[in-house]
Amino acid sequence: MQTFMTDKDVVARVLGHIADGTTDRGDDVWQEPVENYRSEARFKQELALIRSVPMPFCPSTALPKAGDYIARNAAHTPLIVVRGKDGTVRAFKNACRHRGTQLVEGKGCAGAFVCPYHGWSYGLDGALLGIPHEDGFPDFDKLANGLSKVTAIETNGIIFIVQQDPNETQSEAQAMLSGLPEILKDDQIIFSESEMIVEANWKLHLESFLEGYHIKPAHKKTFYPFGYDNLNIIEFCGPHARVTFPFRRIETLKGTADKDLEVSDKLTYVTHMFPNVILAELTYHYTLGILEPLNVSKTKITTYNLTKSTDAAGKDKALADAKRDIAFVNETGQTEDIAMVTGIQRSLHSKANETFTFGHFEPAIVHFHKEMAKRLRRS
């Protein structure tokens, strides 16, 4: 599977585009029916697709020790993801096997999960440990009634989940993840977490991350003064993509020796992990954004912000730099993008457009829609 370029090759390609006044271009123009953003039937198909592929759930460092868990919905399924006593991460449907009560909410640390309704208890491995007044359930097979398992895969500093039968999906899941580079490290600091609701279809919000064609008109006083008008590097890795947004100061790297090449403050990498997760690598921090489709016109964004530096001696500076970095992104660019996206959502039922046209400057979006169409036809 194709992998992403090295920093050295990315810089060379960017500098070439600057010299020539060009940018990466896609081969195809894509017409996406507007109905695919407002159809309830299509929305249900998309949820089924999200359940069928390895979807990032959280950074590995969000569950640092045994018993740490996160309970959250993913594609409308309530899940618990927990690190076991053996260090292995496991995932289960958040439903007691007695009456379906959700066992926990949010995040925490536990030695076992105890149902708040009738007290049935489960180990961190999902095994049913105890039933109060067990004689009232004669012949009940405790071994066969542990928590319902969901595939969890921990790799590249991220915990992925696959909600279909693990025996059917494990090989395909591993194939989808095989080309991705090491994305996060286990000892990075999560310095903030948040959730927000965007009043728009999840695909509309996702698309706002995947092209730089809009940078000058949409961010003319925020991002554009530091960057370029319509200059991006676009790469693919299976169904995934990476978009590079260079800063003007990348031009200071002309003639720099390979050993001295430092790009962290010269560009932003935005990696799209198909289908609904974005990882942005900025100057001083990473942001992992998980787009949870709530309905056809509403999306919940779960965000983890992590420092880049893992050096304990520089922890305070790393946190200060990261918080300053993200304040600029959230207070400016994100607000502007959300305003654009929610405006598009309000126009979906106007019948002004039957299709949206994605051109040669939007190849990462074209790639996304091609992958969606291919996989939905297959399902």
In terms of Cα–Cα distance, which of 146, 145, 149, 130 is closest to 79? Answer: 149
Q: How far is CA 66 from the centre of its chain?
A: 24
Tell me how far apart the alpha carbons of residues 306 and 205 are, in angstroms, rounded to a whole number: 22
What residues form DSSP beta bridges with 264? Answer: none
Residue 87, sorted as left (phi over 0), alpha (psi -120 to 50) or beta, turns out to be left
Helix, coil or strand: residue 46: helix
What digits encode the pLDDT tens for the residues 292-309?
999 999 999 999 999 886
DSSP-based helix, strand, coil % in the chain, nearest 5: 35, 30, 40
Tell me how far apart the alpha carbons of residues 196 and 58 are, in angstroms, rounded to a whole number: 16
Q: Which residue has the higher pLDDT, 324 or 361?
A: 361
Write the DSSP assignment of 279-335 as a string of letters. Answer: EEE-SSEEEEEEEEEEETTEEEEEEEEEES---GGGHHHHHHHHHHHHHHIIIIIIH
Domain extent listing, the chain: 7-52+184-378, 55-177
What 8-state DSSP symbol labels residue 222? T
What digits encode the pLDDT tens for the residues 46-75?
999 999 999 999 999 999 999 999 999 999
Structure tokens at 18: 């600057």
Q: Which amino acid makes up residue 83? A: R
Question: What is the band of 342 on the pLDDT scale with cuts at 50, 70, 90?
Answer: very high
In CATH, 7-52+184-378 is 1.20.210.10: no
Q: Which residue has the higher pLDDT, 42 or 332?
A: 42
Res. 159: pLDDT tops 60: yes
Tell me how far apart the alpha carbons of residues 347 and 355 are, in angstroms, rounded to a whole number: 12
User: What is the per-residue pLDDT for 173?
Assistant: 77
What 8-state DSSP symbol labels residue 143? T
Structure tokens at 14: 């960017």
Cβ within 8 Å of residue 260, ≥6 positions away: none
| CATH superfamily of the 55-177 domain | Rieske [2Fe-2S] iron-sulphur domain (2.102.10.10)
Question: What is the band of 21 on the pLDDT scale with cuts at 50, 70, 90?
Answer: very high
Tell me how far apart the alpha carbons of residues 52 and 165 are, in angstroms, rounded to a whole number: 9
Q: Count of alpha carbons within 13 Å of 261, Cβ hemisphere only?
A: 15
